[in-house]
Amino acid sequence: MSLTRLVLSSGRSVDLAELRLSSTYGGMLEGYPCKPVNDMRIKGLVRAAERAFPGTPVHLVPPPREHPDQYAGAFGPVEILPSVACVGLFSSTALDPAHDPVSYRSGLAVVWFQPTPRVPSGCDAEPTLRELPWERLAQDHEL
């Protein structure tokens, strides 16, 4: 049973089987949000998704990056990502029509950022999440 179902822009329905939410800057003891910090955070989330879901392709939805007019420190200008980092495991019907629809599903792990800790659902998910090119990114697997 899935946590929720999303309808992608393509019309494909995908089920969210697992969702991990964390504060984008939780645990940041020193420094400030900037490109090097954000890039490390993003790479860490992608690696965590690869470890959590081995054998499943992982896709990063490029996050929006805000650049407020603040003092630039030693690591460059302030750059802020949305406050909630998300790692989700999605599944849908098989991509290959030759695969038995009862025995096969397609899957994709996705890393994205959003402003609130709400679970995406239906057609109300973040637009960038709904625009996933599922057929290009996901992979079939036998149940």
What is the per-residue pLDDT across 30-76, written as a single tens digit (0 to 9) for each? 788 999 999 999 999 999 999 999 999 999 999 999 998 887 888 88
| Predicted pLDDT of residue 28 | 80
Phi/psi for 96 (5° steps) reads -80, 115
Q: Residue with structure tokens 């805000």?
A: 66
3-state secondary structure at position 35 = helix
| Predicted pLDDT of residue 14 | 96
Residues across the chain: 143
Question: What does the alpha-carbon distance between residue 75 and residue 37 come to, in Å, rounded to a whole number?
Answer: 9
What is the per-residue pLDDT across 63-122, written as a single tens digit (0 to 9) for each? 999 998 887 888 889 999 999 999 999 999 999 989 888 899 999 999 999 999 999 887
| Predicted pLDDT of residue 35 | 95
| Predicted pLDDT of residue 20 | 96
